[in-house]
Amino acid sequence: MLYQILLSTRPRQWVKNLFVLAALIFSRHLLDWQYAAVAVGGTLCFCVLSGGVYLVNDIADRHRDRGHATKGTRPIAAGALGLGPASAAAAVLMGGGLVAAFALHPVFGGVALAYSALNLAYSLGLKQLVLVDILMVAAGFLLRAVGGAVVIDVVISTWFVLCSFTLALFLAAAKRRQELVKLDAEAGSHRPALEQYGVAYLDQVISILTSATLVCYALYAMGVGEGGSQGMQWTIPFVLYGMLRYLYLVYRRDAGDSPTALIWTDRPLQGAVVLWLATSVAALYLSAP
């Protein structure tokens, strides 16, 4: 049963919580163990909370998931994990995660509470509303980034926050597009909001968000350089390549319905992320102040 609970918390999705560490890296505190320990603690809090949210989501969607080729194998949908143990595990994870978050920092606890409330509302009904669904997904990433700054008491660039938000919107829109394409006539039965989208409309949304993300990141990178960290502008090509690669995978390889799966499996995309991170760390920590 414990193994089924662990599977239901979707450990592969925890990579999303690395957004919490953004403030640690870009505030130049990565090598300060006191800051790092608190930031890692905050990341673990979000992992626990997101695990609880996934359990609630799977409980709410168990009937729809049973008709889906992939989601039908999830423990709750498949009947391998009962509703009682799943509900109890969700309550323990979310309650424990919030207690730990408030213990780390009161304001961080407030951010974690907002994240939990937002995702519960999403899982229990708001994901059925067109546009609201992708906005709420993006808000979850935004709260991770903000929480990472709050927990270590640092200020992060507004442009970076906006970039995180537009990037999350981009990924969510691409995910909805691919779900619509792959599920076709069955899209509405899987996710009612998909009936109100259209491929052409989502293509326009993706195009707008691609441009917005690149502009916000470029302004962020150039702003950091002007602030005394020479070299951040050299990370822009890796971000550009990463987004173009993602678009290639969506439009030419029919991928993108699971952004996390692409991160785990596509080597060129992984290479872009690694090079971006390495260049960013070099610019922030090796350049003259």
Pick from 127, 11, 5: which is nearest to 76 by CA? Answer: 5
192 and 212 in a single domain? The answer is: yes
Higher pLDDT among residues 132 and 224, named by residue: 132
141 and 186 in a single domain? The answer is: no
166 and 115 in a single domain? The answer is: no
**Average pLDDT over every residue of 184-191:** 67
Mapped to the 3 state alphabet, what secondary structure does 190-213 carry?
Answer: HCHHHHHCCHHHHHHHHHHHHHHH
**Average pLDDT over every residue of 125-144:** 91
User: Of the candidates 122, 156, 190, which is a domain's last residue?
Assistant: 156
Lowest-pLDDT range, 12-16, 23-27, 66-70, 106-110?
66-70
123 and 167 in a single domain? The answer is: no
Distance CA 67, CA 44 (A): 33
| pLDDT, the chain, mean | 89
Cβ neighbour number for residue 251 with a 10 Å cutoff: 15
65 and 192 in a single domain? The answer is: no
User: Of the candidates 156, 171, 193, which is a domain's last residue?
Assistant: 156
189 and 152 in a single domain? The answer is: no
The reported pLDDT for the residue numbered 225 is 44
112 and 190 in a single domain? The answer is: no
CATH number at residue 39: 1.10.357.140
Is the per-residue pLDDT at 72 higher than 50? yes
- What is the number of domains present in the chain? 2
Q: For the segment 94-110, what is each residue's pLDDT rounded down to a tens digit?
A: 999 999 999 999 999 99
Are 86 and 5 spatial neighbours (Cβ–Cβ below 8 Å)? yes
**Average pLDDT over every residue of 231-254:** 93
109 and 164 in a single domain? The answer is: no
With cut-offs at 50, 70 and 90, classify the pLDDT of residue 289: low
Is the per-residue pLDDT at 135 higher than 50? yes
Written as one letter, the residue type at 197 is Y
> H helices then E strands: how many in the chain?
14, 0
122 and 218 in a single domain? The answer is: no
Lowest-pLDDT range, 88-92, 191-195, 267-271, 285-289?
285-289
Pick from 99, 237, 102: which is nearest to 245 by CA? Answer: 237
Residues 6+ apart with CB under 8 A from 18: 43
168 and 139 in a single domain? The answer is: no
Q: What is the domain extent for residue 9?
A: 1-156
**Average pLDDT over every residue of 115-131:** 90
With cut-offs at 50, 70 and 90, classify the pLDDT of residue 287: low
173 and 147 in a single domain? The answer is: no
147 and 26 in a single domain? The answer is: yes
Is the per-residue pLDDT at 234 higher than 70? yes
